[in-house]
Structure 1
């Protein structure tokens, strides 16, 4: 008889959603210490990414950066309990929005909006907080391999207002259907999905397989691109989500590759402000140009 993990997962995440801030932070510290030691393959990916993107840092500085990254990563996992099971009032108190007028103005104007959300640690907290502001939104969703986990994630991400979770198998066409209706799209631009639909665009000076979709969608459907930059303070457990202003004249007359390079430069500038906040466990440079040896 198969073990039903769902009640246990709900119990753990539910506890994280109800426990005190002090307990949340304590669990974040514990898991942050354990994670790189238990998930050595992910620690290796982080180490390679930091070596490639920050070659001027000493080994000791990169190790310290990696440890802080895993602390933030673990805290964000703990806080999925808060986002998916915590009260509305506590989420509002923990996750602060800045610049929401940029979004509200565009909503009032009836503009088509791409909420451009790079992979920062606080991504899930930002998404949850935005669903409390936006009555209807859409985003791509990758089905989890475990059905129990998949159900919890889907219900958690769609618990406030109406959130359309578009299967990644449907690609951007599924998102465009909602965008054309004026529904804001929460768009994650910076993962390596291989060569199809991508171009090698510099990121920290390294050619990185980058989807051209944001530039193509904005140009074709007259959509504006509104950056969503999120960060976590590990000392207080509070999140800051900064909205906009929109990327001016995008894509303008630029070809998709040039326009996408503008977006990668925007992401890089934000990452450099606090590098540990970025999602370095992702193999961002997995796909390499023909003939180039792999990084990982």
Structure 2
């Protein structure tokens, strides 16, 4: 007999979607406390990343950041119930957004748009909020290994308006198809896709394999690159989403490698504002330059 988890998963996240902010906060506290104790390999990744990127901080401070990071991460997972099942007014209340005028102006000018969304904890909440504003959008999607989880995530992310979910296996070409048709794309620039199409450029002083795609696409298709920054306020449970002005003169006369290094420096500056908000469970430095030992 096959056990399908989908009905149970839907029930759990629908419960979170109906729950009050205080109830979701209580669940997040429990899950955030449990996570580093149960997910030891992920806790190791977070400790390693923080030690690499903040060698000037004491181990005690980095450990405090780790605890806060897992609390924020747990809250973002619980809040997916709100994004995937909650009513639109409640989502808008929980995701105050500024800077939509930048997207509006670009849409009216019929410019191609890359929404540059680094891996912050509020990444999914920001994406949901933007799908409430945009009639059509596209984003890259990593299929989940569990079919039931995959179905839930796909349904949740494509809930409002038209959202094209491009499988990671289709690569950047899948996104370009939509971009050239005038569809804004929500793009994560700080993923490790191994060496193909990547260059090693510094991120917090560590060489990180980084796709050249943002600079290459922006130049080839005259696309505006619009940063999307999101941060979770633990006290209010609200996600502050900022749509920043399009990057000026990007990539301009810079080479793709120089422009990519510029992007990494920008992401780093946004992370430094509140380091625990970044997605440190991601093995950002998995791919190493030739001859370097593996980090994790």
Q: TM-score, normalised by structure 1?
A: 0.99
Give the CA RMSD over aligned residues.
Answer: 0.6
**SS of equivalent to 1:132:** helix
The residue aligned with 2:139 is: 139
1:4 Cα deviation from its structure 2 partner: 1.1
Counterpart mapping for 1:1-296 below 5 A: 1-296=1-296
Gaps of 5+ in 1: none
Query: For 1:124-172, what per-residue CA distance to the aligned partner results, in whole angstroms no more than 9, with x for missing partners?
Result: 0000000000000001111111111111100100010000011111111
- Aligned-partner Cα distance in 2 for 1:176–1:53: 32
Q: Secondary structure at the match of 1:241?
A: strand
Would you say how many aligned residue pairs link Structure 1 and Structure 2? 296
Q: Which runs of 5+ in 2 are unaligned?
A: none
Measure the CA separation in 2 of the matches of 1:146 and 1:288: 29
For 2:204 and 2:267, how far apart are their aligned partners in 1? Answer: 10
| 1:74 aligned counterpart, secondary structure | helix
Answer whether contact 1:16 1:82 (CA < 8 A) is retained. yes
The TM-score, its normalising length taken from structure 2, stands at 0.99
**Any idea what the Cα deviations from partners look like across 1:36-94, whole Å, max 9, x if unmatched?**
00000000000000000000111100000000000000000000000000000100111
Once residues 80 and 153 of structure 1 are traced to their aligned partners in structure 2, the CA distance between those partners, rounded to angstroms, is 9
Given that 1:103 and 1:244 are in contact with CA atoms closer than 8 Å, whether structure 2 keeps it comes out as no
In 2, Cα distance between equivalents of 1:47 and 1:174: 34
Quote the offset at 1:194 in angstroms: 0.4
